[in-house]
Amino acid sequence: MDRDAYHNCSSLVKMPRQSYEQFWSSHFVEYIDKELSYSKFFRKYLLPNHPCMFSRRFTENWKCRKQWVTEEGKPNFQKLLQEFDESPVPVANCNAKEYNANPKQVMPLKEFIHYWKEYIQNGHSSPKGCLYLKDWHMSRDFPDHNVYTTPVFFSSDWLNEYWDTLEVDDYRFVYMGPKGSWTPFHADVFRSYSWSANICGRKKWLLYPPGQEDFLRDTHGNLPYDVTSAELQDRGLFPQFEEACQPLEIIQEAGEIIFVPSGWHHQVYNLEDTISINHNWLNGCNIDIMWQFLQNELSSVQKEIEEWRNTMDSWHQHCQVIMKACSGIDYSEFASFLKIVAENRMAFLNACSSGDSSDYSRHLSETLTALGPYHAAFDLQRVAHIIECLLCNEDFKRLDHSTSTLQPETLLQQIRDTIQSTRGQHLLYQE
């Protein structure tokens, strides 16, 4: 990885509206069908937050592309049953709506496969509705299967790095759905990036760049469940709908990987019987977007319970509890997340500067080694920037940090010391 990719990237800003409009005028997504360096992907797609599509050549060696798919390109139900027969899987009903999402149930995979076969035999219909296996943590449940490899372009993944450290969760999923199954309009968790690879089948994606979703809100400020619904034409309900741009429509074929940028709202349809692998991920390029999302989430909670502000001594802490229940994280855990990311990279850079290979086995993952010291230094600069923002934030200041193993001010100073002490050393490395 070359130094120029990170040069002057320590103070990232969101892509300006004008740039999105320039991108939109072309109304297409770049298709990548040849070798692409990580540096180029970093500069051309990660930093400017642009979508792109990778051709099937990037997945052609995955085991699941061979083992989970028949010669006709259909889901290999027999093989899936051999591997995962009784495994419990989450299944959503696409024909039912519950709080702008689809209600889920858990069932054995063999029960879902039995339903899926009947659904196909009945002309892709069923009295049970259209069921969609979604958000299955297959990699976590079967860590030794190794049926795919995360492409290097998506390997700087703070989100799964954090949850892997805690050993309680991850954001790596398998989706399996019949023709006609779909996912309602949404943006991904924490406004993360996502990548999605079709193992078999085809998808249609409708994407809106950040900010366009505001034109799609109803008079109560709620986003639509189905962005294609005719009710959006009702100006009384959706007064700004006509101001929204047309969505970017993308057809994803079998084997292809789509990169969905941070904060892009989208709606997705399975045009055929489809299996896909999806990851949500965050890194230094979009951590500022996550931080802004968290501030917005807390502000919304505070507005909802403002009337009790003066009657509760612990009102601010209650806001954090509600925020975590709604969005999955609060400010304290966000600080812990940054701490783990920073400590891993400080250990890496210190090991690089000392030349002590024994440190590698203890502190360094294959990912940090592959991306190299320039990337680690960039990551630390991004973490330092967000910690500085936290320390200036009034809501964060109100939290009790006395039980924390490392105070934010101390962590910030350690990051600065590490960057300064290893600056000359890591520039010696050529990726």
Mean pLDDT value across residues 16-38:
68
Which residues 6+ apart lie within 8 Å of 298 measured at CB? 319, 320, 323, 331, 395
pLDDT at 11: 41
Q: Is the pLDDT of residue 425 over 70?
A: no
pLDDT single digits (tens) 306-363: 999 999 889 999 999 999 999 999 999 999 999 999 999 999 998 887 776 555 444 4
pLDDT at 10: 44
Task: Give dist(CA 413, CA 371) in Å, integer.
Answer: 24
Task: Give dist(CA 44, CA 40) in Å, integer.
Answer: 6
Within 10 angstroms of residue 364's Cβ, the number of other Cβ atoms is 18
pLDDT single digits (tens) 142-188: 999 999 999 999 999 999 999 999 988 899 999 999 999 999 999 99
Q: Using pLDDT thresholds of 50, 70 and 90, give the confidence band for residue 9.
A: low
pLDDT single digits (tens) 176-199: 999 999 999 999 999 999 999 999
pLDDT single digits (tens) 227-266: 999 999 999 999 999 999 999 999 999 999 999 999 999 9
Q: Which residue has the tokens 């689809």?
A: 102
Q: Using pLDDT thresholds of 50, 70 and 90, give the confidence band for residue 431.
A: very low
pLDDT single digits (tens) 292-306: 999 999 999 999 999
Q: Give just the sign of the alpha carbon dihedral 26, 32, 34, 37.
A: positive
Mean pLDDT value across residues 58-68:
97
pLDDT at 4: 55
Which residues 6+ apart lie within 8 Å of 306 measured at CB? none
Domain ranges of the chain: 24-209+245-281, 286-425
Assign domain 24-209+245-281 to a CATH class.
Answer: mainly beta
Closest C-alpha to 159, from 40, 356, 329: 329
